[in-house]
């Protein structure tokens, strides 16, 4: 039963952190190149634009949900299962989400990379 | 990709890895906290290791956001995973921990993945299809492109 809870927490972590990453990426694309903005308008303008972006705020909220799901997951399952499983599945989920929601060109090179990194993270933390 | 952008990606990797290891070091002092002892989590930030770790993680977040402002999510994420490699190398050469063959294989896979992505364009350009391919702008075809 605890194992089912642990995998439930892993699913919640993957879903929440993928949502968060997609929203944060969307927000920063709307804000535009931070380096250019900083040079032309100053740091305060950059910070102001970022924190007033609704996608940024929703992204941070999703990341907070992911963090607390991780805490709950760690209390139900072993760290050696929850941490690598959620981290490596998040890489794959992010590649899928980036393709469909951010319309990034996820070519064969990037698919391969997502799978390699996911496998590598699982091995490192195992 | 300019030098400045590579430095931001290096910042993502190094600040993330350093922040995580400082937090981990600090939480060893604090000891295990159950979810019912929320005030103790708040007090944990008084530990200098934890405080320094949070500072590094704030730098990580700033660098991560900066990178996302000019690069694809699927380009930046592998750079964050390079932090795991940095951590394993710190464990091996600074802390003299044992790194198992499975971990070395993990390091190899992550490095290969990062190398693959870094060799490609960093951002998807939503340019007109009739626009000529421009290697400098990074609008390269996935395979067999003129810039490969």
Q: pTM for the full model?
A: 0.81
Whether the CB-CB separation of B142 and A108 falls below 8 Å is answered with: yes
Whether the CB-CB separation of B69 and A32 falls below 8 Å is answered with: yes
Euclidean distance between CA atoms A19 and A25, whole angstroms: 10
Residue B143 lies in a domain: no
Residue B15 lies in a domain: yes
Domain limits at B59?
Answer: 3-118
Euclidean distance between CA atoms A100 and A98, whole angstroms: 6
pLDDT on residue B130:
44
CB hemisphere CA count around B94 (13 angstroms):
8
* Spatial CA neighbour of B11 closest among B58, B74, B75, B70: B58
Q: Is A110 on the interface with B (CB under 8 A)?
A: yes
Average pLDDT estimate for A16-29: 95
The residues spanned by each domain of chain A are 2-125
pLDDT on residue B126:
64
Distance of residue B69 Cα from the nearest chain A Cα, in angstroms: 4
Euclidean distance between CA atoms B148 and B141, whole angstroms: 9
The CA–CA distances, whole Å, from B148 to B2, B14, B51, B121 equal 19, 29, 45, 10
pLDDT tens digits, one per residue of A26-41: 999 999 999 899 999 9
Compute mean pLDDT per 10 residues along chain B, 148 residues long, and list them: 89 90 80 70 82 93 94 89 84 79 90 85 66 45 42
A with B: how many residue pairs have Cβ under 8 Å apart? 129
Number of domains within chain B:
1
Euclidean distance between CA atoms A50 and A37, whole angstroms: 11
Average pLDDT estimate for A15-22: 96
pLDDT on residue A16:
97
Closest CB to A32: pick one of B35, B69, B73.
B69
pLDDT on residue B148:
39
Closest CB to B77: pick one of A31, A94, A103.
A94
Structure tokens at A29: 């694309």
Structure tokens at A44: 């305060």
Residue B142 lies in a domain: no
The CA–CA distances, whole Å, from A99 to A22, A92, A105, B72 equal 10, 11, 6, 10
CB hemisphere CA count around B24 (13 angstroms):
8
Residue B123 lies in a domain: no
B35 SS3 class: coil
H, E, C per residue of A95-107: HHHHHHHCCCCCC
Distance of residue A50 Cα from the nearest chain B Cα, in angstroms: 9
pLDDT on residue B35:
65
pLDDT tens digits, one per residue of A60-114: 999 999 988 888 887 787 777 888 888 889 989 999 999 999 999 888 888 999 9
């Amino acid at each position: 039963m605890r194992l089912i809870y642990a995998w439930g927490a892993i699913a919640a972590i993957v879903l929440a952190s993928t949502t968060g990453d997609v929203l944060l990426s969307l927000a920063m694309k709307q804000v535009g190149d931070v380096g250019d903005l900083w040079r032309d308008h100053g740091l305060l303008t950059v910070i102001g634009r970022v924190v007033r972006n609704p996608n940024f705020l929703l992204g941070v909220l999703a990341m907070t949900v992911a963090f607390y799901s991780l805490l709950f997951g760690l209390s139900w399952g072993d760290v050696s299962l929850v941490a690598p499983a959620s981290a490596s599945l998040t890489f794959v989920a992010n590649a899928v989400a980036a393709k469909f929601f951010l319309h990034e060109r996820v070519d064969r090179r990037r698919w391969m990379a997502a799978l390699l990194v996911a496998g590598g993270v699982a091995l490192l933390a195992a | 990709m300019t030098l400045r952008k590579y430095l931001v990606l290096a910042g993502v990797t190094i600040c993330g890895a350093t922040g995580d290891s400082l937090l981990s070091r600090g939480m060893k002092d604090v000891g295990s906290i159950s979810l019912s002892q929320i005030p103790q989590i708040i007090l944990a930030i008084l530990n200098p290791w934890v405080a320094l770790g949070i500072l590094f993680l704030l730098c990580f977040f700033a660098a991560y956001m900066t990178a996302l402002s000019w690069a694809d999510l699927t380009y930046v994420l592998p750079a964050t995973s390079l932090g795991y490699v940095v951590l394993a190398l710190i464990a091996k050469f600074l802390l003299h921990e044992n790194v198992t063959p499975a971990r070395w294989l993990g390091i190899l896979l992550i490095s290969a993945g990062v190398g693959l992505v870094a060799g490609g364009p960093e951002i998807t350009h939503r340019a007109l299809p009739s626009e000529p391919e421009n290697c400098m702008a990074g609008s390269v075809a996935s395979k067999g492109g003129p810039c490969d």
